[in-house]
Amino acid sequence: MASSLTENLAEYLGSPEPAVRLILSILIGYPFALVYRRFLFHQSPSVIHLFHAVSGLSLAMFNFGSQVYHSALCIIIQFLLLRLMGRTVTGALSSFIFQMTYLLTGYYYTATREYDIKWTMPHCVLALKLIGLSLDYYDGGKEPSQLSAEQKTAALQTTPSLLEVFGFSYFYGGFLVGPQFTLRNYKRLVSREMTDCPGQVPNSIVPALKRFCLGSFFLLIFTIFGPYYPDSYFLTDEFEAQPFWYRCVYILLWAKVNLYKYVTCWLITEGVCILSGLGYSGRDEDGQPQWDACANMRVWIYETTPLFTGTINSFNINTNAWVARHIFKRLKFLGNKMASQFATLFFLAVWHGLHSGYLLCFSLEFIIVNVEKQAQALVKDSPKLTAFANSPLYPLIYIVQQFIHWLFMGYPLLAFCLFTYDKWLKVYSSVYFCGHLFFFIAYIILPFLRKALVPRKAKSDRKED
């Protein structure tokens, strides 16, 4: 019955059935959160864990059927690793190796040449959650003086129960598309601490509706304009026959529109987390409650920043924070920030999948971000460039910078979405590898521009920094 309904709805909307099931599953989080608020908020932790586990499992079965065993198996094995290996380096490494190996094996056996919504999609979210659980458990065995302030807020002092791990893993507000959150925060939710009214249901309906409406707005934009910018058009003779400027503008608009499908999912899911209370992050300086603990998007910054780093920092925030905390900062022993950054981006590429497009996308991101940082330092240290940037011409500068920004945000995204070597190579050839050339040339000439435009004192100050 459910299958026929989703098939009919998918046919009516002109969307793939798995995509319809996914968006319905995200929306079902709202009634689940309302049931939790109305009937379970004051129940015992075991009852709440059971509700979260059953509701999340139901969503998993609705989307992936019997393949739900993949997530259940990994959760059970993760629990056994915690219990049998304890707070040891071996335990943390075993968890990392097992979860990543299972995920990558899943990618290998299910991979196609197109983007498919299958069990590996939520499993990549789950893999991070379970690896993070093991690392937080390991941190809980250290002396407080050995932990950073960030680690102290997440470290686990006690061993979680199996039911607790299941509830944490299958929580309906984070199982399918994220966001990432710690077991410590989940336990605070269950113990009624994630609320602006201690011990009472949070006043979070209005903030949740705001995120829901904002997510629905972006869903509407994607639904209307998405069909005009399909990935498949890049591989047609018609695209190749278009003028160079048209191809570049198409890449820009395609990237902008297609990223809205991620924005939609994260905003609507954030609303579910806020409604349940998991989004509560304390009060601001004026005493107003804040609901951004599970925010995966900073929408205003995302839409207005002319910087690549600004877009990256406002997009998929919780995953980026997870990777920064558990990968980048734990690679401090390498003694080289750039090496840590490269290794972190390599991890992100592999975590997304085994296609060459992921590796190329994150390699380009590494180059783009580092060139941008050099350019920002040049403008800051050069009095002439600083004066020019602060001149009345700034609106024109902003427009040009924003065009370059979104064109070359879409450029690496091509490889990310087209996956395979033959596809992305064809498209990059059609635009003459303009992104590669632009940033390679920028990397070459920036040191020369610095010598010409930056006073000696600023250069020496920058070296000391």
Catalytically annotated residue among 313, 352, 370, 436: 352
Give the Å distances, CA to CA, from 168 to 35, 55, 127.
17, 12, 13
For 70-109, give one letter per residue: b (16+ CB within 10 A) or e: bbeebbebbbebbeebebeeebbebbbebbbebbbebbee
Q: Examine the residue annotation and report whether 313 is marked as an active-site residue of this protein.
A: no
Instruction: Go through 178-207 and write b for each residue having 16 or more CB atoms within 10 A of its CB, e for each that does not.
Output: bbbbbbebbbbbbebebbbeeeebbebeeb
In whole angstroms, give the CA distance from residue 228 to residue 246: 14
The greatest distance separating any two alpha carbons of the chain, rounded to the nearest whole angstrom, comes to: 74
E strands, 277-379, are none
The torsion angles phi and psi of 297, rounded to 5 degrees, stand at -140, 135
The span from the CA of 72 to the CA of 84, in Å, is: 18
Which amino acid, one-letter code, is at 465? D
Listed in sequence order, the residues at least 6 apart from 135 whose beta carbon sits closer than 8 Å to its beta carbon are 92, 95, 326, 330
In the annotation, is 316 catalytic? yes
Q: Which of 316, 318, 320, 326 is catalytic?
A: 316
The type of residue at 447 is: P
Rounded to whole angstroms, how far apart are CA atoms 60 and 58? 5
Q: Is 297 helix (H, G, I), strand (E, B) or coil?
A: strand
Sole residue written with tokens 């996308």: 361
DSSP H/E element including 149? helix 149-154
- Distance CA(372)–CA(401), nearest Å, equals 11
Residue 143 DSSP SS3? coil
Q: How many helices (H) and strands (E) does the chain have?
A: 23, 0
Question: Hey, which residues are catalytic here?
Answer: 316, 352
